[in-house]
Amino acid sequence: MESSFIVANLKSFLTLDNANEWLNTFKNSFKNNKNLKIIICPPFTLLSFFKKFIDENNLEVSLGAQDISPFGQGPYTGEINGIQIKDFADYVLIGHSERRINFKEDEQLLTQKTEQALANGLKPIFLVQDSQAKIPNRVNIVVYEPIFAIGSGSPDSPKNANSIAIELKKRGAFDVLYGGSVNSANVKDYTSESDLEGVVVGGASLEAEEFSKIIQNA
Ligand code: PGA
């Protein structure tokens, strides 16, 4: 394993004011002495603000978007496409259960989104809820996020997450991350597992200090 991924999924939270506070707190508490790959996924409205702050402060952090249009540039009102995202980010989350459930995103749409990401030089972070879900071609990073564990405070056990990772790796040469109720107290249990290459953090990443602590404890 080269290095572990620690991904913050900020979901549909934070305004400009909150983001400024988050970033300043993060800057003052962030230490990455384990060569971890840190990826922060803010909402679209804040991508440019995060990028400017990260560049100006030379933070060793990458950015990801939380979604991508299944189309390229064109008359698709409201959509943000891969070329636009590439101005700010290197990664994109695709297949989160919150999008599959609330926005009826199906396998065909998720494949189209993955193709758009890849065509524009973005690395898809593809989320699945079990070991059998379809994973589009040329995806390298897969996240196992069981629905019961998301935002519930009841994470899946590190052992079970690791065995799902082993199952997933039989299907392709993926880095596999775990997501679902990860925090600074339990992160090490996941990053210590042999077949998990990192974690995705939702709720606990909304507190910048706690997110720094997760990075410290990973
Ligand atoms: P959670 O969310 O950490 O709040 O459980 C994880 C995710 O949905 O990516």
179: Cβ below 6 Å to ligand 1? yes
Per-residue pLDDT band for 167 (boundaries 50, 70, 90) equals very high
Residue 1 is predicted with a pLDDT of 45
- Please, which contacts does 16-24 make with residues 24 or more away whose CB atoms are closer than 8 Å? 16/45, 16/46, 16/49, 19/46, 19/49, 19/50, 20/49, 21/208, 22/206, 22/208, 23/49, 23/50, 23/53, 23/54, 23/208
Quote the CA–CA distance of 13 and 18 in Å, as a whole number. Answer: 9
Q: To which H or E segment does residue 127 belong?
A: strand 123-128
Q: From 66, 101, 182, give the residue whose CB has the most ligand 1 atoms within 8 Å, as the site to mutate.
A: 182
What would the pLDDT profile of 76-85 be if each residue is shown by its tens digit? 999 999 999 9
CA of 187 to the centre of ligand 1 (A): 13
Alpha carbon nearest to ligand 1 atom 7, residue: 202
Q: Global pTM? A: 0.97
151: Cβ below 6 Å to ligand 1? yes
